A and B are shown apart, each in its own frame.
Chain A
Amino acid sequence: MIDRPRSVGAAVKRLEDPAILRGGGRYVDDLSLPGMLEVAFVRSSEAHALIREIHVESASALAGVHSVLLLKDLGVDRRMVQANPHPLLKQDITQYPLARDEVCYVGETIALVIAEDRYVAEDAAALVQVDYEPLPAVIDVRDAAKPDAPRVHRESPDNLVGRIPWKFGDADAAFKAAKHVFRESYVQHRGGCHSMECRGVVASHDAFSDQLTLWSSTQSPYLIRRFLSQYLAREETKIRVVAPDVGGGFGPKAAHYPEELALALAAPKVGRPLKWIEDRREHFVATTQQRDQLWDVEVACEDAGKVLAIRGRALHDHGAYVPYGLLLALGSVVNFPGTYAIPAVDIAIDVVFTNAVPTTPIRGAGRPYANFILERTMDCVARNLGLDRAEVRRRNLIRKEQMPYSTGGKLPNGKPVMFDSGDYPGVLEMVLNNSGYGQKPSKPGRLVGVGLSCYNEDTGLAPFEGANVRVFPSGKVVVTSGAGAQGQGVRTILSQIVAEQLGVKPEEVAVELGDTAVFPMGMSTVGSRTTVTAGSSAHLAAVEVRDKAIRLAAEALECAAVDLELAEGAVRIKGVPDKRVPLGELARRLAGQVNVPSPAGFSPGLEATAYHAVERPVYANGANVAVVEIDPETGRVEVVDYYVAHDCGTLVNPTLVDGQIVGGVAHGISNVLFERMVYDRETGQPQTTNYGEYLLISAPEMPRMHLAHMETPSPWNPLGVKGAGEGGTIPCLAAVVSAIEDALGVKVNEYPLSPERILELANGAR
Chain B
Amino acid sequence: MKPPPFTYHDPRSLADALRLAGTLENAKLLAGGQSLAPMLNFRYVLPDHLIDLNRIDELSGIRIEGRRITAGAMTRQRALEKHEALAALCPIVREALAEVGHFQTRNRGTLGGSLAHLDPAAELPGVMALYDAHVEVRNSSKTRYIHIGEWSRGYMTPNLEPDEIVTSVAWDAWEGSHGHAFVELARRRGDFAIVGVGALLSLDERKLIRKAAVALVGVAYGPVRLRAAEQALVGKPLDDKALDIAAAEARKIEAKSDLYASGDYRRRVAGVLVSRALKTAHGRARG
Contacts and interface: CB of A to CB of B under 8 A. Distances in A.
A695 B187 contact: yes
Contacts of A690: 38, 42
A123 B1 contact: no
B187 A688 contact: no
Nearest to B38: A690
Nearest to A40: B2
A123 B1 CA distance: 10
A544 interface: no
Contact of A698 (B3, B188, B269): B188
B185 A122 contact: no
Nearest to B189: A700
Interface in A239-279: 279
A695 B272 contact: no
B272 A634 contact: yes
B192 interface: yes
Contact of B268 (A123, A280, A678, A759): A759
Interface string B27-50: 000000000001000110000000
Nearest to A756: B265
Q: Is the interface of A mostly helix, strand, loop or mixed?
A: loop
Given A122-B43, A695-B191, A698-B190, 13 more contacts: A119-B5, A126-B4, A633-B269, A634-B185, A634-B272, A678-B259, A687-B259, A690-B38, A695-B187, A698-B188, A698-B189, A700-B189, A754-B187
Nearest to A692: B192
A701 interface: yes
Contact of A688 (B4, B42, B259): B259
A279 B42 CA distance: 10
Nearest to B2: A119
Contacts of A280: 1
Contacts of A674: 187-188
22 contacts: A118-B2, A119-B3, A119-B5, A123-B5, A126-B43, A281-B42, A633-B272, A634-B185, A634-B272, A678-B259, A688-B259, A692-B191, A695-B188, A695-B191, A697-B188, A698-B189, A754-B187, A755-B185, A755-B187, A755-B194, A755-B265, A756-B261
Given A123-B5, A281-B1, A634-B272, A693 B188 contact: no
A621 to B, nearest CB: 32
Given A281-B1, A281-B42, A756 B188 contact: no
A23 B246 CA distance: 54
A636 interface: yes
A634 B267 CA distance: 11
Contacts of A634: 185, 269, 272-273
Interface residues of B, number: 25
Contacts of B188: 674, 695, 697-698, 700-701
Q: Is the interface of B mostly helix, strand, loop or mixed?
A: loop
A686 to B, nearest CB: 11
Contacts of A695: 187-188, 191
Interface string B181-224: 00001011111101000000000000000000000000000000
A674 B259 CA distance: 13
Contacts of A122: 1-2, 4, 43
A680 to B, nearest CB: 10
Interface string B141-162: 0000000000000000000000
Nearest to A698: B188
B1 A279 contact: yes
Contacts of A755: 185, 187, 194, 265
Given A634-B272, A690-B42, A759 B265 contact: yes
A756 B185 contact: no
A667 to B, nearest CB: 15
B262 interface: yes
Nearest to B187: A695
B4 A123 contact: yes
A693 B38 CA distance: 14
Nearest to B261: A756
A447 to B, nearest CB: 14
Interface in A678-733: 678, 687-688, 690, 692-693, 695, 697-698, 700-701
Nearest to B5: A123
Given A122-B2, A126-B43, A279-B1, A756 B262 contact: yes
A507 B42 CA distance: 44
Contacts of B3: 119
A616 B191 CA distance: 46
A575 B80 CA distance: 71
Nearest to B272: A633
Interface in B1-59: 1-5, 38, 42-43
Contacts of B185: 634, 636, 755
